[in-house]
Structure 1
Amino acid sequence: MSDPVSSIRNLGEASDAVYARAGIHTAEELRTLGPDEAYRRLLATGSRPHFIAYYAMVMGLQGRPWNDCQGKEKDALRARFDALKSEASAKKPPEDKMEAILDAIGIRKA
């Protein structure tokens, strides 16, 4: 049996379900995809962008603790994260963007 996604450092058991929704069921699949493609898939399946979750995964794939990322390395990861987030936002259907705007200003559908 293959190791679950949560066997990767920094990724807890809740990660297994989140990654499975994105079609990533094992640690090996995550390693093969790499952090950027995996995060693209997470965003495409509705996961909310969260920088700490992104860089914790990146650090975990390197076998490092999540808080090991600092300085220029963290700045570079922030730039990659922002690019992934922008890319995902551009691919959202218009009605999803409108829902996000309505949510942001506190108006919800009845």
Structure 2
Amino acid sequence: MPAPVSSIRNLGPASDANFAAAGIKSAEELRALGPDAAYARLLASGHRPHFIGYYAMVMGLQGRPWNDCKGKEKEALRTRFDAIVASVAADTSAAPSGIEAALNEIGTGLKR
């Protein structure tokens, strides 16, 4: 039986549902995708970007506590995070329309 996403350090029970909505149903799938591709899928499924959530996942995949991320490593992860967010935002096939587009325009982000 596959391990739940929440079996990865730093990821709680809500992570199971969030990643499942992005098509990632197990810790093994998350590990196979890697943190950047998995986070891009999470964002594309409608979740709002959250830097701490991203680096907590990265640290957890390395078996490290979330607050172990500091200094230059944290700066490098911020660069990766910003690139992922920009990439997903630029993907016109995932661009919201109607009310979702209006909400994004005024800065409330995707709501699901």
TM-score by length of 1: 0.88
Runs of 4+, deviation exceeding 6 Å: none
Partner-residue secondary structure (3-state), 1:72: helix
Q: Equivalent pairs: percent with the same residue?
A: 65
Matches within 5 A, 1:35-50: 35-50=35-50
Work out the CA distance in 1 between the residues paired with 2:13 and 2:46: 19
Matches within 5 A, 1:17-96: 17-91=17-91, 92-93=94-95, 95=97, 96=100
Deviation at 1:61, TM superposition (A): 0.1
Say what the alpha-carbon RMSD is for the aligned residues.
1.5
Which residue, 91, 104, 108 being the options, matches 1:100? 104
For structure 1, which runs of at least 5 residues remain unmatched after alignment? 106-110
For structure 2, which runs of at least 5 residues remain unmatched after alignment? none
Deviation at 1:98, TM superposition (A): 3.6
Task: Look up the match of 1:8.
Answer: 8
Structure number with bigger Rg: 1
Work out the CA distance in 2 between the residues paired with 1:93 and 1:87: 11
Deviation at 1:94, TM superposition (A): 6.1
TM-score by length of 2: 0.87
